[in-house]
């Protein structure tokens, strides 16, 4: 819903929301000019977390860049690792002797990527609910996220920035109890999901706060470069896992939810509620994909010495003198496509590593959709677009 | 819903803009070299033509050719547009090279609003001015930052607003010009 | 207050003992310890999370690690917080705002530097042009917590170390001006503008001596 700002421009109140603010999902600053409660103009101010990760990509070796990809989006670090590794492997693929990623490693990659998608979305919807004013769902989301953190900690030793998916495979094999732990977690998550929905999704107040707020039409979403759940929330049926598959996603028959004005009479396709519901539906889909991958997982006998390909000597040797050229690869991270444009000049350091992230273009549309909404809706909009500032600023 | 092959796309574009040259990178990636003056026309054609219909600007970025083993070697800054068609599912890669001294490229933000932020970032990090961009200013680095960091000859700052960049005893190891563009102790 | 810079009669070290000087003649103990106990067990921290450590900070406040049971709740404004946990990478652009937040905090106030990036620039210290190599260039830090990111248990361990310091804080009585070095370095930054905490710590008397 939009409300006309009636005060002439000279008398607007200028508010600086951020960079320290409980609801800006990081150090994002939005300069809001408001006529009382109605936002007339909004100008985001970025760069408070610009850590020059793209410059670092030119300074370090190919395999050394993987921990930095964790920091590009730490909420879903496995997906971030995976995006870079798929791109680096595409560069290596020009060499006829390049080793292929073992099938077991591909399965593990999908498993950890989908688990991380679940934990990322639980944090995102929990944070959105907390911003809107409901503090409890955040704790439920974090509780689920902690269980995924436990699995990942037993797997690779880290809770947040994993450095696990490597060029050529993954770093370690699954620990023996991993499939059983994952299954137990997924069963428990399905039960929790019902409770979570009763708590927040069907809550009238939450729905009224998010319905018809900042709707983005499908055409606008594509033109403004929205990706991921933001794009799907506007009704565009596009998911890289199904439409431009990488790894073994082509064998997994990914089902893609889209926004359909889930808020009912009060809702509009592409509003905040739609984006929120699309994330929840993606969690359900990820549960299904994890179970499928666990069934597909081959026994750990693919290659006796290095079943998962992460420390292959031939990959390391190849990375010292990779083929020259450029690639552009995009993968589906929880916040949308993470596109890597990498230029290689044949040496052990990349020449240019470019990370294109979903939150960057999502924050680009803020000044357009936040015109005419109430100040209280600003946090709902930021939460529904699920921007994380390291993705914007890199 | 018919994806065109890169050669077919190149042929369609060359029919209207004969100066556009298709290239393939060393590892086989196809891209079109577009002169800066041709960019608005080529971009409009790619977006509006029914068979091309590139309605999605996947990415607009830049890279610095100084020191890259290109043939012939060049000092230019290249701006790369990565376009995609949601309807036809084909992609097009355009590369526009701007000389270092007069780094100006026309803006495509009128065609794809996504370019508004992408072009600000390329301006900030490479120093390419986009003619026609409504609000071209720095986005990542602070407004009073000096220099364009992603250029290959960028010299790291020794201090910002009076605070030294390095910690005591830390050696200067900034950037790909390790050791050459700066002395120990952080003097640039 | 006897510990302000520029005080012509600074209290001598070990000034908690009564003596003949004017500021040694009133010695309040039980009330002050009670107040210190209260402060120690109700440190409100500023909700200030920059990067990855911010997620661990949030998870530390979450249901499993729950710093709320230690009395720590997040406050949105620096005016109401006692503790600023600088969690995450601080860039040059952000650094001045961190100092602004620190200045807005009311005394007594403490700063915990959480994670490698806030301690010294972390993984970005070598090749980044835009990252401030350590928040102690701008604000005085009491406790440094290493890690990338530190586990919530590590954060709680650092907070327990800070609570030792808070317990020694005297609200009414004479403050002990000999800095106590805890897990690194941190002290009377106000009289050493522009120096990093490591430089200051090297000039301090060794712990235990007065």
- pLDDT, tens digit, 9 for 90 and up, residues A362-380: 999 999 999 989 999 999 9
| Subunits close to C (at least 3 CB pairs below 8 A) | A, B
Locate the domains of chain B by residue range: 6-133
Q: Please check the confidence at residue C28 and state whether its pLDDT lies above 80.
A: no
Q: Are A50 and A394 in contact (CB under 8 A)?
A: yes
Average pLDDT score over chain B: 88
Higher pLDDT, C174 or A166: A166
Locate the domains of chain C by residue range: 26-182
With CA atoms as reference, the chain B residue closest to A340 would be B59
Locate the domains of chain A by residue range: 53-393
Mean pLDDT on C43-70:
91
DSSP states of A176-221 as a string?
TTHHHHHHHHHHHHHHHHHHHIIIIIT-HHHHHHHTTSS---HHHH
Separation in Å, CA of C143 to nearest CA in chain A: 21
pLDDT band at residue C17 using 50, 70 and 90 as cut-offs: low
Average pLDDT score over chain A: 90
**Cis peptide bond prior to B175, omega within 30° of 0:** no
Q: Do A146 and C63 touch (CB under 8 A)?
A: yes
Q: Do A364 and B116 touch (CB under 8 A)?
A: yes
| Subunits close to A (at least 3 CB pairs below 8 A) | B, C
Q: How many CB pairs under 8 A join B and C?
A: 42
> Could you read off the pLDDT of A277-328 as tens digits, one per residue?
999 999 999 999 999 999 999 887 655 556 566 667 778 888 889 999 999 9
Separation in Å, CA of C49 to nearest CA in chain B: 19
> Could you read off the pLDDT of C70-104 as tens digits, one per residue?
999 999 899 999 999 999 999 999 999 999 999 99
Instruction: Mark out chain A residues that contact chain B at CB-CB < 8 A.
Output: 46-47, 50, 52, 54-55, 58-59, 91, 94, 222-225, 236, 238, 243, 323-328, 330, 337, 339, 341, 343-346, 349, 351-352, 354, 356, 360-361, 363-365, 368, 393-394
CATH class of C26-182: alpha beta
**Type and span of the H or E element at A14:** strand A13-17
Q: Do C125 and B170 touch (CB under 8 A)?
A: yes
Residue B93 contacts A, CB cutoff 8 Å: yes
With CA atoms as reference, the chain B residue closest to A49 would be B140
Give every strand in the sheet of A352-356, ordered side by side: A325-333, A336-344, A352-356
- What's the token pair of residue A88? 């680096």
Q: Do B174 and C120 touch (CB under 8 A)?
A: no
pLDDT band at residue C5 using 50, 70 and 90 as cut-offs: low
With CA atoms as reference, the chain C residue closest to A56 would be C127
With CA atoms as reference, the chain C residue closest to B162 would be C194
ipTM: 0.91
Residues of B in contact with C144 (CB under 8 A): none
Q: How many CB pairs under 8 A join A and C?
A: 98
d(CA A390, CA A76): 12
The pLDDT value recorded for residue A370 is 92
- Give CA separation, A365 vs A339, A343, A360, B86, B117, in Å: 19, 29, 9, 20, 9
Residues of A in contact with C56 (CB under 8 A): 159-160
> Could you read off the pLDDT of A66-122 as tens digits, one per residue?
999 999 999 999 999 999 999 999 999 998 888 888 888 899 999 999 999 999 999
- Give CA separation, A119 vs A160, A278, B117, in Å: 11, 15, 29
The pLDDT value recorded for residue C196 is 46
> Which CATH number is correct for A53-393, 3.40.50.300, 3.30.450.20, 1.10.645.10, 3.10.105.10?
1.10.645.10
With CA atoms as reference, the chain C residue closest to A74 would be C52
> Which CATH number is correct for B6-133, 1.20.140.10, 3.40.640.10, 3.30.460.80, 3.30.450.20?
3.30.460.80
Nearest to B82 by CA among A339, A323, A72: A339
Residues of chain B predicted below pLDDT 50? 179-188
pTM higher than 0.80: yes
Nearest to C108 by CA among C172, C58, C151, C152: C172
Q: Please check the confidence at residue C207 and state whether its pLDDT lies above 50.
A: no
Separation in Å, CA of C144 to nearest CA in chain B: 16
């Amino acid at each position: 819903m939009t409300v006309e700002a009636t005060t002439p421009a000279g008398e607007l109140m200028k508010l600086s929301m951020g960079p320290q603010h409980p609801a800006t999902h990081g150090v994002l600053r939005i300069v809001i000019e408001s006529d009382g409660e109605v936002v007339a103009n909004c100008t985001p101010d970025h760069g408070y977390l610009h850590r020059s990760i793209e410059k670092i990509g030119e300074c370090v070796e190919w395999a050394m860049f993987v921990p930095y990809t964790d920091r590009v989006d730490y909420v879903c670090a496995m997906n971030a690792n995976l995006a870079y590794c798929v791109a680096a492997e595409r560069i290596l693929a020009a060499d006829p002797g390049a080793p292929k990623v073992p099938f077991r490693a591909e399965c593990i990659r999908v498993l950890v990527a989908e688990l991380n998608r679940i934990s990322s979305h639980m944090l995102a919807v929990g944070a959105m609910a907390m911003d809107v004013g409901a503090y409890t769902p955040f704790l439920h989301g974090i509780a689920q996220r902690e269980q995924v953190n436990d699995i990942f900690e037993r797997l690779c030793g880290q809770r947040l920035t994993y450095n696990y998916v490597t060029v050529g495979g993954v770093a370690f094999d699954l620990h023996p109890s991993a499939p059983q732990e994952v299954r137990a977690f997924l069963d428990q998550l399905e039960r929790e999901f019902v409770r979570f929905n009763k708590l927040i999704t069907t809550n009238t107040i939450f729905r009224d706060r998010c319905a018809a707020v900042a709707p983005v039409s499908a055409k606008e979403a594509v033109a403004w470069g929205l990706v991921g759940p933001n794009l799907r929330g506007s009704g565009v049926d596009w998911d890289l896992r199904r439409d431009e598959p990488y790894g073994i996603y082509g064998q997994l028959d990914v089902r893609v939810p889209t926004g359909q004005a889930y808020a009912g009479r009060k809702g509009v396709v592409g509003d905040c509620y739609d984006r929120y519901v699309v994330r929840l539906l993606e969690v359900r889909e990820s549960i299904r994909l994890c179970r499928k991958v666990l069934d597909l997982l081959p026994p750990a006998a693919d290659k006796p010495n290095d079943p998962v390909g992460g420390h292959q000597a031939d990959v390391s040797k190849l990375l010292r003198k990779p083929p020259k050229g450029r690639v552009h690869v995009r993968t589906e991270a929880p916040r949308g496509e993470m596109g890597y444009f990498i230029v290689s000049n044949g040496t052990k350091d990349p020449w240019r590593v470019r990370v294109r992230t979903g939150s960057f273009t999502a924050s680009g549309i803020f000044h357009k959709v936040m015109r005419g909404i109430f100040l209280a809706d600003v946090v709902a909009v930021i939460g529904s677009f699920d921007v994380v500032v390291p993705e914007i600023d890199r | 819903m018919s994806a065109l092959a890169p050669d077919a796309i190149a042929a369609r574009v060359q029919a209207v803009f004969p100066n556009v040259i298709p290239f393939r990178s060393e590892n086989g990636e196809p891209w079109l070299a577009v002169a800066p003056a041709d960019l608005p026309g080529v971009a409009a054609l790619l977006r509006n033509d029914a068979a091309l219909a590139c309605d999605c600007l996947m990415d607009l970025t830049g890279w610095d050719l100084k020191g890259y083993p290109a043939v012939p070697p060049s000092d230019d800054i290249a701006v790369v547009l990565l376009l995609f068609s949601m309807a036809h599912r084909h992609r097009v890669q355009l590369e526009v090279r701007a000389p270092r001294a007069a780094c100006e490229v026309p803006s495509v933000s009128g065609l794809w609003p996504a370019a508004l932020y992408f072009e600000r970032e390329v301006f900030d990090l490479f120093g390419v001015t986009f003619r026609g961009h409504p609000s071209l200013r720095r986005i990542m680095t602070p407004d009073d930052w000096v220099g364009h960091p992603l250029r290959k000859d960028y010299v790291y700052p020794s201090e910002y607003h009076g605070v030294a960049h390095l910690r005591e005893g830390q050696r200067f190891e900034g950037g790909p010009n390790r050791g050459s563009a700066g002395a120990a102790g952080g003097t640039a | 207050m006897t510990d302000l810079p520029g005080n012509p009669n600074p209290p001598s070290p070990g000034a908690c003992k009564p003596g003949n000087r004017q500021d040694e003649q009133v010695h309040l103990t039980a009330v002050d310890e009670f107040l210190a106990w209260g402060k120690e067990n109700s440190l409100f921290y500023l909700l200030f999370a920059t990067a990855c450590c911010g997620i661990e900070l949030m998870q530390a406040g979450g249901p499993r690690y729950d710093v709320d049971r230690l009395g720590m709740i997040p406050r949105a404004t620096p005016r109401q917080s006692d503790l600023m946990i600088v969690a995450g990478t601080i860039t040059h652009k952000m650094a001045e705002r961190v100092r602004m937040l620190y200045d807005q905090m009311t005394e007594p106030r403490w700063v915990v530097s959480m994670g490698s990036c806030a301690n010294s620039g972390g993984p970005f210290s070598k090749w980044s042009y835009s990252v401030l190599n350590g928040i102690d260039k701008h604000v005085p830090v009491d406790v440094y917590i290493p890690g990338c990111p530190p586990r919530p248990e590590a954060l709680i361990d650092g907070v327990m170390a800070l609570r030792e310091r808070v317990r020694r804080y005297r609200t009414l009585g004479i403050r002990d001006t000999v800095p106590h070095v805890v897990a690194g370095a941190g002290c009377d930054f106000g009289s050493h503008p522009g120096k990093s905490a490591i430089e200051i710590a090297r000039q301090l008397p060794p712990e235990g001596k007065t």
